[in-house]
């Protein structure tokens, strides 16, 4: 495994303290030029830092969700980078990886998947659909499935005109082709 990138605070990199509302982009899932994509950002709040994701379909904004909150700027940024580039990609200069646990990374990955797929209501999904989304998230976190393949499979699926739960079954099969 490659050595993790060390994330440094804004004041060390740019020489200024971030203000409330300042945002930092971690990147896009799968990438910035993809038709369907999710942008992951970190924003300075009154109390701490929040990691957000915003889903896009072309120029249309699908939804915006909070993924994670942290008191530490570099922990929030390292978390965001790990969502975009994979587990172990980045580490907080102050806390190392002790604050980025697998559960938070998994939950964030599930939320990014739901955002990319424009699924707003988890409760509307049947048990099988939930399991398929959770399994895909686990594979992404473990590096067995990449974001590009998961989102491309969803783009192929949504053109079929299926019900949501049927579409998720088709999507799951499409990722394994």
The string of pLDDT tens digits covering residues 102-153 is: 888 899 999 999 999 999 999 999 999 999 999 999 999 998 999 999 999 9
d(CA 118, CA 34): 15
- Provide the pLDDT for residue 3: 79
pLDDT grade for 62, boundaries at 50, 70 and 90? very high
DSSP 96: B
pLDDT of 153-168, one tens digit each? Answer: 999 898 888 889 999 9
Q: The pTM is what?
A: 0.89
Predicted confidence (pLDDT) per residue in 4-34, tens digit: 788 888 788 888 888 999 999 999 999 888 8
- Which residue's entry shows tokens 């067995």? 144
Nearest 5°: phi and psi at 147? Answer: -60, -40
Angle (CA) 83-66-7 rounded to 5° is 45
Between CA 143 and CA 141 the distance in angstroms is 5
Q: Which of the four pLDDT bands, split at 50, 70 and 90, describes residue 2?
A: low
pLDDT (0 to 100) of residue 161: 85
Is residue 98 scored above 90 in pLDDT? no
Classify residue 26 as exposed, middle or buried by CB count within 10 Å of its CB (0-12, 13-18, 19+): buried
């Amino acid at each position: 495994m490659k050595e993790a990138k060390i994330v440094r605070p804004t004041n060390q990199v740019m020489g200024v303290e971030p203000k409330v509302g300042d945002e930092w982009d971690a990147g896009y899932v799968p990438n910035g030029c993809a038709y369907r994509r999710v942008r992951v950002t970190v924003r300075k709040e009154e109390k701490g830092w929040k990691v957000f994701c915003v889903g896009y379909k072309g120029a249309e904004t699908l939804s915006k969700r909070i993924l994670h909150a942290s008191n530490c700027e570099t922990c929030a940024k390292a978390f965001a980078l790990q969502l975009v580039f994979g587990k172990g990609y980045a580490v907080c200069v102050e806390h190392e990886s002790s604050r980025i646990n697998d559960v938070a990374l998994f939950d964030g990955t599930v939320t990014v998947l739901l955002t990319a797929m424009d699924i707003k209501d988890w409760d509307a999904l049947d048990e099988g659909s939930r399991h398929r989304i959770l399994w895909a998230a686990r594979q992404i976190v473990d590096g067995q499935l990449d974001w590009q393949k998961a989102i491309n499979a969803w783009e192929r699926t949504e053109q079929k005109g299926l019900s949501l739960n049927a579409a998720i079954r088709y999507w799951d099969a499409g990722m394994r082709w």
